[in-house]
Each structure stands twice: as structure tokens, then as C-alpha cells.
Chain A
């Protein structure tokens, strides 16, 4: 009887040892919410709006002090408040020839600031106020493109005709000639195929405009990551094998496994319609999700595409939980703009032909 008891105790001890050994040397944080199978529960809704950019501006250190961050955050808040100020109810129409606004506002002033939700804070990782998402290379910038990638970029740009049309070259809001020839030439976000700014990824990045919400639902066999724009649900198949190379998906094929308390997601099999900073369909992304505390996830990614970048590169930032909801983003169903853009271009061409 005693021998059996001792043997049982020994087995119990061995069991505990085996369990802790399987944690890859990490101390198990028992304060984290966990699923019944013992893994940290990543389920939740997260708002990735933040002021920390992807790449570090020249001359900035990797980490700011809290005071510096607060100064910059106040600047952003002041800017935001200024943009939301009342204006003259008896104002005139804006100037003919455009209002000089640049970028997406396209010389026509875009729309009001109240539609935007750019984020109000610099991101904190491991207690550090970060000045960039990219951490490797150490200068916080995406590595150089390969010669191959620069060649591909050049031939993509060559499909836009050099501007010879007088009307077009004098309109700073217009993209280069040829940009409006076909719907396929428009950005994926305008076509309502994928959200802009790699908001679905992978890698998942803040888009610095709005709708940066993501939702995770975790089960033992599948972890689903929902990106608000454009309602993309990426299902990570746990402990599975990648699909054959003939099968490719817009968001790639994601498989996942646990390394201690970290969910590792490995994604390959992108389509050749990938539009991530010039990458090819052979891009390989490894993401690591770690729950930091009840309200925060840490998201770290490494991107490898030897045909595009001279080295692999890594970024990280934290995902704060939000009590807000992801709302439906039915994009294609309300995409008046695509028709407006194409018809506008055809009318412009007709007008300029008739002028000649």
C-alpha cells in the first residue's frame, strides 16, 4: 500500500515537472485569464489607433521619456482640437483651382476631421514609450529593397504614362496619367477588397486613420482574428500544416502553435495580388501574440521576403483592449466612389479630346 502511494506521488511529481518543463523555461503567469486547455486567453476587442509610426523618424531615439511623449501627445491633441473648431457659418465656397490640400485630401480638402480617429497616445511596450513599431533593424526603419524589388517597382510605375496632357499636369490632386484607366489600377482599399494600410495584414499594422479595431476569438483548434476594415476574418488553424503552394489566399494561409504562453502564427501562401510595400507572394510572416495583462496584448512580427528586402525585419507594439464594438464595414455595398472616379476620368479625357 505504501509503495503504491509513494509511486503515485512520484508520478505526480514527474507530472508537475513535465508540465513546467513544457513552458520553455518561462515562469507561468497565473494572473492571466486562461482557457480550459491552459493557454492564455487572447479573446477580446482591441483598438490599434496610436501615434507611434511604423518607422522611426531620423534622429529620434528608440525610446522616449514619458515627459517627451506627453508633450507630443498634447501637440496632437491641440492639433485635433484646432481641426474640430467652429468655422464661419457664412463662409464662401472654397477657392477655384483647389484648396492646396495634399495627400489623400487631393487638393479638394477631403472631409472633416471629425470622421477620423487617429489615436491619441504613443505606444508602450515593456514600459517603454516607443518612437517606432520597427525594432530590427536597430535604426527603426524598414530595410533596403533588393535590386529585384526596385526593378519590379520601376516596371509597376512605368504602366502610368508620362504626363503629356496639359490639364492633368496642372492638377496637383490627380495621380499620374493612367492611374484611373481600370478598376484594377486602383488601391485595394478603394476597390473594397482589403483595408488600406495593412490593417488586415499580416502583418497587422495601425492604419493611422480610423477603424483600427480588431477582435480575437480563441478556440483550441482555431484562433480567429477579425479586422474591422473590410470585415476580414483570418482563421489561424492550430497545429496544422501549410496548404500546398498552388492554393493561395489574400491574407495568406496561417497556422498556429503555442510556445509557452505565446501564440506563434506562421503565414505563407499569399496571392500575387499582395500589396505590402512591394512584397512578393512568397513573403513569410511570423507573428507572436502574448498576453501582457488583462487589458493588453503584445504583438510582434517578423517579415521575411528575400526577393524584396535585404534582411528580415521585425516590429512590435501593444494592443490595448477596448470596450468599444467592431461595427459592420460593408464597403463594396456602398462604394459610390469607384464609379465616380472612373466616370470622372473618362469625362476628363473626353473633355480634353474635344478641346483639341
Chain B
């Protein structure tokens, strides 16, 4: 082979090799790995069907936090101790640590709202709607420590949550403002490429975001984004804004994991029955002791 041609060939091979390296999923600095491409439904949208569950401590506290002895504390001689009503639970009633799911770390409360959050924490037992098995609202329903099922066809998208049997229909056509406020809000969905975007409005002011007193008003507006990033991972992001409570919009994100057990299915968690003694027991004809 003549020398010139060999040079060209070497250059061509080098170029090809370089191009090859550039397009593979090798972790070259500054280069993102090739995105996962989920299987499609017949309408070309990614198939998000499945039973999913969060695997984090968001429901205890959205923000980064260390473990603590209980969800409601009171002053003790050497620092806070569990409040009397939760004492018997011992370590079962304690709060595990979490690195937090809030982008930027802190929820940006307005000054008065920050005081209310602190007050909520101090009155957690009386005020957390989860204790009464009230509907969890959005985004809390997503990261309750129980699975939910996402059902998707070309005609409809629907969320069925195991916790309290909460449900959410995702409207694919915007019907305009919600006629009244509700616990789970009004969800309107659209696609942005690989991502299902769900715009939620029409909330009442009654749900909390977690067991740490984080709350909102009826001006809450949530925009969720669901993207499959791996066969068994659904990436979840939610942007929250509420002019009455927060100084600016803020964002949470977390992976949701598919329940891959062969027999995975939702079961009953109809906790309304479980709270009857707590809420109504004192009015029985023959009440049981309350202490």
C-alpha cells in the first residue's frame, strides 16, 4: 500500500474510532449516557403502566433530616423526647434519616408560613391529616410508603393508590378551572416527548406534604413530570408553587421503583375503618378506656 493511502486509512480508522467512542455509553467526562427508550403504546407515547412505589423517607420529611426519636416531641431534661401519646411505640415510632428530596435543600417558606410549619410540627398528632386517614393530596400520594398503580391506554390515564384507596383521573382535555376545591385536585395531562406532564390545580388547603408539618393553601399549583429512565424506574419530579405560603416555586424529585414481584398487585388499605375507635370511640354507648 502506498504511504499516502495508508495515512488516509489510519486517519479514517481514527476518525471512525473517535466517532464510535463518542456515541457509546462509556462515561466520558461531560458526555451524558444514551437515554433509556421505554417501550411504546400504539399512540407512540412511552408506556408508563405498572405498579410503582417510592423507596425513600419523603413521607416522614421532604427536607434532609437526621433520625429523631418520634414524630411528635416535647422538651426533655437533655433535649427533646417523644411526646406522651407516642411513648409506647418506642423505636417503632421513630423517624428514619433522609437525604431529602427538595432541590436546593430547603422549602422556601414565607416568614409567617415558616412559623405555621413549626407550629404544625409541634401539633403533629392533632393536625397531620394522615393520622385520620384523610386523602393524601398531591404530591404526597406519590411517596406514601405503599404502592400505586398507573393505568395508561391511548384513551385514558389513571392513578389508583393503595393508601386509603385514593384515586386520580388524569384528564387529557383541559376542562377549565376546577368547579370546587378537592383533596386530590384536578389533574390535566399532556406529553412532552418521553415525559408525562400532569398539571394539578383546584386543591383545598387541608392536606400536608409529609409528617413534618409541611403544608400549603388552596392556591397550591403542582406540575408533575413522569419519565421512564430504566426498565423498572420511573423518575418523578414535581414543581410546587403557592403564593400564600412560599416565596418562590420549588421542586422535589425522586425515582419510583416498579414492584417487580410476579404477583404484585394493589391490596386494600381502607384505613377509614382503622381510625373509627380514635375518632368516634369516645361516643360509644360503652366507651373503652382512652388511656
Contacts and interface: CB of A to CB of B under 8 A. Distances in A.
Contact of A326 (B154, B169, B286): B169
Nearest to A326: B169
A132 to B, nearest CB: 31
Contacts of B285: 180-182, 345-346, 349
B49 A219 contact: yes
A235 B266 contact: yes
Contacts of B280: 183, 338-339, 342
Contacts of A226: 158, 167, 169
Contacts of A330: 134-135, 182-183
Interface in A328-355: 328, 330, 332-333, 338-339, 342-343, 345-346, 349
A32 to B, nearest CB: 14
B160 A224 contact: yes
B206 A222 contact: no
B165 interface: yes
B134 A235 contact: no
A250 B169 contact: no
Interface stretch (A35-43, A136-144, A287-295): A35-43
Interface class of chain B by DSSP: loop
A338 to B, nearest CB: 6
B270 A218 contact: no
B205 to A, nearest CB: 12
Contacts of B149: 222, 224, 235
B153 A35 contact: yes
B183 A219 contact: no
Given A226-B169, A235-B149, A345-B285, A325 B175 contact: yes
A232 interface: yes
Contacts of A326: 169
Nearest to A224: B151
Chain A interface size, under 10 / 10 to 19 / 20 to 34 / 35 or more: 35 or more
Interface string A184-204: 100000011100000000000
A37 to B, nearest CB: 9
Given A217-B151, A222-B151, A333 B134 contact: yes
Nearest to A346: B283
B283 A343 contact: yes
Contacts of A191: 272-273, 276
Contacts of B286: 181
B267 A342 contact: no
B129 to A, nearest CB: 8
Nearest to B268: A249
Contacts of A219: 49, 151-153
A217 B153 contact: yes
A231 interface: yes
Nearest to A233: B160
Interface string B220-235: 0000000000000000
Contacts of B157: 217
Given A235-B266, A333-B183, A217 B273 contact: no
Interface string A35-62: 1100001010000000000000000000
A333 B268 contact: no
A215 interface: yes
B86 interface: no
Contact of A247 (B41, B152, B160, B267): B267
Interface string B118-161: 00000000000100111100000000000001011111111010
The 3 closest A-B pairs by CB, nearest first: A342-B283, A181-B285, A233-B160
Interface of A: 35-36, 41, 43, 180-184, 191-193, 215, 217-219, 221-222, 224, 226, 231-233, 235, 237, 247, 249-250, 325-328, 330, 332-333, 338-339, 342-343, 345-346, 349
26 contacts: A35-B153, A180-B285, A182-B284, A183-B284, A215-B158, A217-B153, A219-B151, A219-B152, A226-B169, A231-B167, A233-B160, A235-B151, A235-B265, A249-B267, A249-B268, A325-B169, A328-B183, A330-B135, A330-B183, A333-B135, A333-B206, A338-B280, A339-B280, A342-B284, A345-B285, A349-B285
Given A226-B158, A233-B167, A343-B283, 8 more contacts: A41-B155, A181-B285, A181-B286, A221-B49, A237-B265, A326-B169, A345-B283, A346-B283
